[in-house]
Amino acid sequence: MSDKYEKLWQEKGEKIAEILESLYPDPPIPLDHEDPYTLLVAVLLSAQCTDKRVNKVTPELFSMANTPEDMVTHSVEEIKAIIRPCGLSPRKSQAIYDLSHILLREHGGKVPQSLVELEKLPGVGHKTASVVMAQAFGEPMFPVDTHIHRLAHRWGLSNGKNVKQTEKDLKGIFPEEIWNDLHLQIIFYGREYCPARGHDVAACPICRYYGTDEVKGMM
């Protein structure tokens, strides 16, 4: 990318960050949780499921077991019966049961404050691990889910080939100190102003300000 286009890219990122900060100056964590362990479980459950549905399911799950010690005293079938509304319940219930055993056996019952160690846990991919590192431990991360991936492409901030490339592109545009808030701001903005379907450009502050195709060829 030429210096000219890189400067335009950075200026665009700064403007988008300003818009998001003005709309969501203190973005809340959308998944209800009590501590790193319950956040880890909630994020795992959110795969291919809405945060709203996860928040309806986790109170019953965490009333049954909200620590690894308690979770392993229950069967996979008991866990599955509660989390079924979240979808993929056979795989997710097994992952919750297995990772709870691993936390007890290898980490003293604590969620590790390490991206590498988190990614070794069953059912925990890079995005889930990044969310836990950012939201439970305050480490600068830029978790990219399909929604952020879609918006980054729509706004011309990434070429949209895959979430890994999108994460790299976004980290190159935005300063590290705003990553943790920014990924939440983008999620909230997408829901309110920039949906995948029925998108009204005139009512979308970012797309109204920037054309969605203006940086094609810059990547």
DSSP letters, 116-170, are HHHHTSTT--HHHHHHHHHHHH--------HHHHHHHHHTTSS--S-HHHHHHHH
**Which amino acid belongs to residue 28?**
P
Q: Is 127 among the catalytic positions?
A: yes
What's the full length of the chain, in residues? 219
Question: Residue 178 has which token pair?
Answer: 């705003």
Of these residues, 3, 32, 98, 145, which one is catalytic? 145
Of these residues, 127, 181, 200, 213, which one is catalytic? 127
Q: Is 164 among the catalytic positions?
A: no
- Cα gap 187→27, rounded to integer Å: 10
Are 42 and 58 spatial neighbours (Cβ–Cβ below 8 Å)? Answer: yes
- Cα gap 108→143, rounded to integer Å: 26
**Residue 38 CB partners (closer than 8 Å, separation 6+):** 58, 62, 66
Q: Among all residues, which ones are annotated catalytic? A: 127, 145
